[in-house]
Structure 1
Amino acid sequence: MPLSLPRLLPVACLSLGALAAFTAFQEADPVMQRLATRLQAYYAEGNPEISYLHLNQAAYVAGETVWFKAYVVDGSTHQPDSLSRVLYVDMISPSGKQVALRRMLPLRGGLAHGDIMLPDSLPQGIYTLRAYTNWMRNSGEELFFSRRVPVWQAVSSSRASSRLMAKEMSANRRESTTAARPDVQFFPEGGDYVAGLATIVGVKALDATGTGLAVRGTILDDQNQPHATFSTSALGMTGVSFTPVAGRRYFARVVLPAGTTADYPLPAVRPDGWVLNVRDAGPDLQVFIRYQPPQGAMQAPTKLRLLGHVRGAVVYTGAGQIQGSETFMATVPKADLPAGIVHFTLFDDQQIARAERLAFVPDPAPLRLRLQPEKTTYGLREVVSMTVDVRTAAGQPVTAELSASVASVAEGLPATGTTDVDVESHLLLTSELKGYLENPGYYFRQPTPETRRALDHLLLTQGWSRFVWGRLLASDVSPAAAYQFLPEQTLTVSGQLMRLNEKPVPNGALTLFQGASKGVTVGQTDATGRFTFTGFSGQDSSRVLVQARTEKGGSNVMVKLDKLWPLPAKPTPLPLLASAAAPPAEVAVYAQRSRRQQVLEQQYRPDSSRSIVLRNVTVKGSRPTPPRHDPRSIHLSADVVLRTRDIPAADNATDIFQLLQGRVSGMDIFRSDSANAVRVRIRGISTLTGGGGPLLLLDGIQLPNTQSLQGIPPSMVERIEVLKGPSAAIYGMRGMGGVIAVFTKHGNPDYDYSQEKSNQSVVVYQLPAYYRPREFYAPGYEKSPAANRPDPRATTLHWLPRLPVPASGPARFTFYTADEPGTFRVRVEGIGATGQPVTGSAVLVVADR
């Protein structure tokens, strides 16, 4: 009897022959012990982290503020803390080729909160909001927290921003056109399908933007004989029962949404191997294993082992042997498993992982959140008091760290392109699956047989993977030992030292100069050329200079600093929003309310200068614009300014001092023939009073000696400024011998790095400061000043990023309604002290009475 579709079925329907049971390990098995030990060590040393952002809204209009609360938890236990203390949040443009907005925040106990003011000229489109730590980058950007956020542009914008919007939309359309054919993939359950063994094949159909497609199709062999039919749901997934035949090749003829047909190949059929099936049988998960030996091989018993784990915690080990047409079964009670994704991996007698299957286990005892307003209907400017109570399934109060939003739902924005995700669906599902996951909240809101089946299809397809057991077992050294990025306790400057042929420079010598503190730190690269400087407070932005040499002192090297804001390696085209020139009716209504709110905020909010981005401003007059002062220097003018673009063959000069030689009156440059050392004297008052050499500055950073400046290739230099006598007085005693200030192209914010072709043994970098979050406007009408002002809150009525619930009982928060009636949804999310997710919502109505 062939295997049926993956749903609740009697065990008898899954057996092809004798049914034998696994034996769970009661005695020590050295093989399983080693597998379990290596797995646990991998998670312990890798210390995975999970990030999540709770937003005040799911979609926005340009000019609004994205308010967010960040949670970073331990990847294994989901405890609300983290190894890292620095969080990066960014918004990637719709084309995926630009970091549009960014924030860097300190983490305290795995928590942070912030805001992103969307410029009102921001081009319309679906942006990707991400949150990650430096440590998370070792596991790949696909495991960053990521969600799609539509930003509508429903007001006329400037010609420049319109061109930018059109450019973004054009780039998206080009991407969509090049990948117009839907992607239909097939995933044999467990990893392979084997000739003669019935199994389930997962089907996943997606358009170019990663959105699921409802398609239907037929599986045919290379002689055009049909073997099975299927149809996918609106999410683009299903499972089909299939028994392949040896020597045949298979493909699927798919009817696409447009009515056209296309053929897609299926994976090749293996003549021998293993098949692993997992079924949900109510209180248990049942695992079935079958084996097809190579043709002509003796029908001897074959040993096998099964290991199950949830986020690195081993929850099941079993062993047995299989012969002939036997089907082996293991029964795993769900009550013994943590909530989340359980990975079942099958090993043969050579300890080689042969198949893997993922299954989902819901939380049998979730935390319960009671969110209770005093009443459901309120008047304008009336105080609302909300009670928040978190308890275990047994009714015991428990501590929790929460955040709360109160946002309008009566006139909300369309759900086009939004990612329906909450803290529960992310912690238990999306954080363990690579790639974009469409609407994960669907699987959790209302658990039904349909949603459970859809979730199983998801794990059958997108969860189809092979854990890197081969690499894990090949050595006792954890893969985490080769991680490039370290967990940040403070801000860091890191990178790799390379030769011009792109080979790493081990044991290279590094010197870091800090502009503000005038500190100097020395370091050395490791065997792979990697380096990390730590200890930056992040309280203020800091300009640093990194100078590198080989172990023997050579300067023919390149310093490659790690980017703080990595772009997606393979940007995925995103869905397009309706034209901004003719937005949907609900967008126009919402935008009108939002615009009114922004105007009132600009007029009445105390921090309006920080929170409002002005629209088009026309400036009339003929007053000349003064030249922009270079922020890298404290002096406004210099006695001599040499620009390398004006010096013939400047890039061919030996060093900077050769550029200066003979071009600055009163400057003497002396070179030592033995060590090629340079000594500089600027004639003036300092020579009469016995002063030392000139102050040497590189992009505003003081250098200790001429040797440090000699290592700067002239091709990197934009200009050199020389200050003598009174001009140098702005530098005090340091400038008594004059000043030589060198400005690089790299330190210039307007420099085009795409044109860079030079050696970069010295790099100047502006390390940003932590973002200082704004406070959400929450008026108190018991105080007279706010009573006489219009209340601008029309879209998000309240945002509370910190809502701790004590173990002693309920918490309470209050806020006032505003001047706009409407229906608002109160949404609370967070994490309990046990690591369990907490979610809840309530609806309140504000009436004009």
Structure 2
Amino acid sequence: MNISFSQKPLIALSLIVAPFYFSQNKAEVALKKFEENYPQEKIHLLLSKKNYVAGENLWFTSFVFDGYSPSTISTNVFVELYDQNKKQISKKIYPLINGKGSGSISLPADLKEDIYYIRAYTTWMGNFSDYFNEIMPITVYNPSSPEKLVKNASAPWSAAIFPESGTFIDGINTKFAVRLQSKGETPSNWNGFITETQDPQTKLVTFKGFDQNAGSFSFTPVGGKKYQLTVEDEKGIKQTVNLPEVVSSGVNLQVQSKPDAINFVLKGKNIDQNKKYKIIGTINNQLVYKANISMISDKVYSIPNNQLVNGILNFTVFDESENIVAQRLCFIQPQSLKLKQPYLKGTSLSLKPRDSNSFTINNDPSISNYLVSVTDNESEDPENENSLLSTIWLTGDLSSKIYYPAQYFNQNRNIDALDALLISEKWSRFNWQTIMSGNFPVIKYKPENFLSYKGKATKLGKPASEAEINLIFKMPGQGIKYNLIKTDKEGVFTLSGLIFEDSMSFSYQLNGEKTTKNSVQVYFQPTFSFLPFRSDLPSNNYTLIKRNPTDTVPIEIERAVANKSSQTSLQEKETLIEEVKVKAQKKDLTKKLNNELSSPLFRSGNETVFDLVNENQNAQGSQNILQYLQGRVAGLQIQMQGGNYTATNRGGTMELFLDEMRVDASQISNIPISNIAMVKVIKGNFAGSFGGGNGAIAIYTRRGGATGSIVDTTLPSNLTEIKLNGYDKEIPFNNEIYAEESARSVPEDKRSILYWNPYLESKPKESTIVQWYNNDDAKNFRVMIIGFDENDDLLYYNEVLK
């Protein structure tokens, strides 16, 4: 037997040499091409809560993955809201920073009570099936609506049966999975039994279903006989399904996922003993295991788990002609999920109405920021149905409907149920026959670099060929800022890597020429766009019935309605709590300084900002600013060569800018640090770059708003102003609701979301404090903490603090 493995990080195995090789390797070649050229993204939307009332704000954080790691492919996420008729109600675009983004949707106050759907996707995902868009149903209640939602308990269900690896062979004991499906709810309590078709009274095997999705049993068939499955739910409703026909020859693949290894065995009957087989194992479209087998026997093969990641392992058995003879999905090490856990200390909890609570997350220098959510545990957990874990490891790569997939990755998970589920599934990211025949996805949409606009400049009606154009920005408190761009022969140029909210206004003029207001025209067109929704909305397990005046409103909805009224009252008193806004502003002085000093062309999702006005006072002790930066940014190297400093990032030379004008290192090294207000280290491409791609160090001197000096803020009157649309602005969540005493006058506080912060900063040498205020009657709190370290390992915590 010959076994070889890919050298992918974390999923590489050892090598065993065997005496022969397969003459064909079409499968391996096709898989490598697919993996390298068609990476697949998946999205998880984490909502601030599970159920909503019309008129509320919905906050979310989007996590985009390439396989099992945060994606670096896409930098924008598109989020849309639809009703049951697929009518679009809202659409938003937000930036993705290292695969993570956050935003909000304001639900209209006149939305009728119903199930609505949030669709989230990236432009790159438009090249593949819409089945892998995130389509999340949300329940929106409205007590004034003429109809109300009720669970659909009468929807019929169906059962299907799947032999392990897809083969059912005479005399070979075979494991079967039974899978339930419904347009409404499937039963949670059900059982089944096997009989011969001609003797339905004699039960050969009985079993009980694991959950609403699957059950399993093992059975040894006899050739020439026919069998049937009968499934019965707790209401006595029965369904009978025929088992596949028993065949007299073939190969059966049997797999067991053990704590320390994946064990498998190939069993066969009436097969040519000279025939050879090839087994390929893939994780996330990557080849991680290959075995050439010359003889089918009962030998058990073992793949160690110690270098494998949690996830779905896709086994495929090929014959010598590379026909598929058996397939099987299994989960790697479901007994032990590799997740980091935060260490919480200094927990201070109070059950007094509107009192302050807090805990501290112990310092982890490998994590830059966390998502932290605190909710009243009386409300439903937004992760109880489909969690971040179940999206990464299960639903993000499978297209069928799975009920409550989060259950397979919680503390009380049933690993036998997960295995049965995977026996009934097929890997949905690619089809072997399709890619082996050379049919690959057509790439219509390229990944974007944040917001991009294509511009065309004309002079007196003709293209301004190879011209230099000054884009002129009026910066708050900083006067005028110029950014130079160049057109091609057709007068075309591109602004890419833009990160700004709402809109961006600027004027323009041809460099070095006096022009009248209408002699030069610049036209812009966005290179990003929302994509049409091609698939159908999924079914849900609710129906609408007429509301009666005597109907009682569910407690959670009654609380949400009361809280919406209180929040409206609080917003009307904003003038009385202006100090809260001031405090919030003080917490973000660096962001304010960044907005004042840097133009939109010098903003990036991958930037490190050093604020020398409000922080980093120790910089004054360095010889110069480049020396100060050494060792403070991962990958940045500052070196002295020939009497001059050089700055490189991962081996590539970085551009240097002084007040957004490109300069040499010699022009920077002599600037006194006391004259510098801010430094930005930008990695990768950004709009103001000259095209190097290795990033830049941008240094901003103290002037204008940083020192109080007077700057001319007038623009020439002959310039035309242009406005470009940016990202949608996220509605801020008020985590300091009672920081000011006057806010406590609201009549009642029934908030379910007590704290929401998608980007809680983790400082390298400090513990991270989370502080929130009670509502009027909280008894315990659900805390969610999510983060990724520098190796993309996931920290996931979803527990109740009492």
**TM-score w.r.t. structure 1 length?**
0.61
Q: Specify which of 385, 391, 396 is matched with residue 431 of structure 1.
A: 396
Structure 1 match to 2:614: none
Q: Secondary structure at the match of 1:591?
A: helix
Asked if 2 retains the 8 angstrom alpha-carbon contact of 1:315 and 1:336, the reply is: no
Q: Does 1:334 align with 2:301?
A: no
Report the Cα offset of residue 290 of structure 1: 1.5
Alignment partners' CA distance in 1, 2:112 and 2:462:
42
Q: Does 1:236 align with 2:224?
A: no
Q: Secondary structure at the match of 1:426?
A: helix
Q: Secondary structure at the match of 1:302?
A: coil
**Closer, same or farther in 2 for the Cα pair 1:607/1:534, shift >3 Å?**
farther
* Partner deviation per Cα, 1:522-551 (whole Å, 9 max, x = no partner): xxxxxxxxxxx9969796699xxxxxxxxx
Q: Secondary structure at the match of 2:167?
A: coil
Report the Cα offset of residue 261 of structure 1: 2.8
Q: Specify which of 130, 153, 172 is matched with residue 197 of structure 1.
A: 172
Structure 1 match to 2:88: 99
Matches within 5 A, 1:373-392: 373-377=346-350, 379-389=352-362
Asked if 1 retains the 8 angstrom alpha-carbon contact of 2:318 and 2:326, the reply is: yes
Q: Specify which of 325, 331, 344 is matched with residue 360 of structure 1.
A: 331
Asked if 2 retains the 8 angstrom alpha-carbon contact of 1:64 and 1:598, the reply is: no
Structure 1 match to 2:425: 462
**Closer, same or farther in 2 for the Cα pair 1:567/1:43, shift >3 Å?**
same
Matches within 5 A, 1:741-752: none
Q: Does 1:487 align with 2:447?
A: yes
Asked if 2 retains the 8 angstrom alpha-carbon contact of 1:99 and 1:567, the reply is: no
Structure 1 match to 2:704: none
Q: What is the one-letter code of the residue matched to 1:44?
A: E
* Partner deviation per Cα, 1:377-433 (whole Å, 9 max, x = no partner): 264554444322376xxxxx53254211121123x25x8x98523322321222222
Q: Secondary structure at the match of 1:368?
A: coil
Alignment partners' CA distance in 1, 2:495 and 2:164:
46
Q: Secondary structure at the match of 2:31?
A: helix
Q: Specify which of 93, 99, 117 is matched with residue 106 of structure 2.
A: 117
Q: Secondary structure at the match of 2:331?
A: strand
Report the Cα offset of residue 776 of structure 1: 0.7
Q: Does 1:405 align with 2:376?
A: no
Report the Cα offset of residue 479 of structure 1: 1.6
**Closer, same or farther in 2 for the Cα pair 1:230/1:31, shift >3 Å?**
farther
Asked if 2 retains the 8 angstrom alpha-carbon contact of 1:97 and 1:567, the reply is: no
Q: Secondary structure at the match of 1:335?
A: coil
Q: What is the one-letter code of the residue matched to 2:255?
A: V
Q: Secondary structure at the match of 2:780?
A: strand
Matches within 5 A, 1:405-804: 405-410=373-378, 412=379, 420-447=385-412, 451-463=414-426, 468-475=431-438, 479-480=440-441, 482-489=442-449, 564-566=531-533, 568-569=535-536, 571-576=538-543, 581=548, 582-587=551-556, 589-605=558-574, 770-779=727-736, 794-804=751-761
Q: Specify which of 60, 85, 88 is matched with residue 68 of structure 1.
A: 60
Report the Cα offset of residue 304 of structure 1: 1.3
Matches within 5 A, 1:85-96: 85-93=75-83, 95=84
Q: Specify which of 776, 780, 793 is matched with residue 823 of structure 1.
A: 780
Alignment partners' CA distance in 2, 1:607 and 1:24:
74
Asked if 1 retains the 8 angstrom alpha-carbon contact of 2:213 and 2:402, the reply is: no
Structure 1 match to 2:281: 308
**Closer, same or farther in 2 for the Cα pair 1:596/1:373, shift >3 Å?**
farther
Q: Does 1:156 align with 2:113?
A: no
Q: Does 1:350 align with 2:307?
A: no
Structure 2 match to 1:626: none
Q: Secondary structure at the match of 1:479?
A: coil
Greater CA drift, 806-815 or 355-364: 806-815
Asked if 1 retains the 8 angstrom alpha-carbon contact of 2:103 and 2:730, the reply is: yes
**Closer, same or farther in 2 for the Cα pair 1:594/1:57, shift >3 Å?**
same
Identical counterparts, % of pairs? 24
Report the Cα offset of residue 491 of structure 1: 6.0
**Closer, same or farther in 2 for the Cα pair 1:567/1:790, shift >3 Å?**
farther
Structure 2 match to 1:370: 343
Alignment partners' CA distance in 2, 1:364 and 1:377:
33
- Higher Cα radius of gyration: 1
Report the Cα offset of residue 327 of structure 1: 2.2
Alignment partners' CA distance in 1, 2:44 and 2:575:
30
What RMSD in Å do the two structures reach over aligned CA positions?
4.3
Q: What is the one-letter code of the residue matched to 2:402?
A: L
Structure 1 match to 2:715: none
Asked if 2 retains the 8 angstrom alpha-carbon contact of 1:207 and 1:213, the reply is: no
**Closer, same or farther in 2 for the Cα pair 1:562/1:67, shift >3 Å?**
closer
Report the Cα offset of residue 283 of structure 1: 1.6
Asked if 1 retains the 8 angstrom alpha-carbon contact of 2:130 and 2:534, the reply is: no
Which segments of 5 or more consecutive residues in structure 2 lack a partner in the other structure?
Answer: 1-13, 465-493, 505-527, 578-717, 719-723
Q: What is the one-letter code of the residue matched to 2:374?
A: V
Alignment partners' CA distance in 1, 2:267 and 2:123:
43
Alignment partners' CA distance in 2, 1:28 and 1:492:
53
Report the Cα offset of residue 800 of structure 1: 0.6
Alignment partners' CA distance in 2, 1:130 and 1:317:
38
Q: Does 1:138 align with 2:113?
A: no
Q: Secondary structure at the match of 2:729?
A: coil
Which segments of 5 or more consecutive residues in structure 1 lack a partner in the other structure?
Answer: 1-21, 392-396, 494-510, 522-532, 543-560, 609-732, 734-766
Q: Does 1:219 align with 2:194?
A: yes
* Partner deviation per Cα, 1:786-829 (whole Å, 9 max, x = no partner): 57777857221121111243555642333444566543322212
Asked if 1 retains the 8 angstrom alpha-carbon contact of 2:348 and 2:359, the reply is: no
**Closer, same or farther in 2 for the Cα pair 1:304/1:784, shift >3 Å?**
same
Report the Cα offset of residue 25 of structure 1: 4.5
* Partner deviation per Cα, 1:307-350 (whole Å, 9 max, x = no partner): 22221333322222225xx3242111121211111112212122
Q: Does 1:186 align with 2:164?
A: no
**Closer, same or farther in 2 for the Cα pair 1:594/1:99, shift >3 Å?**
same
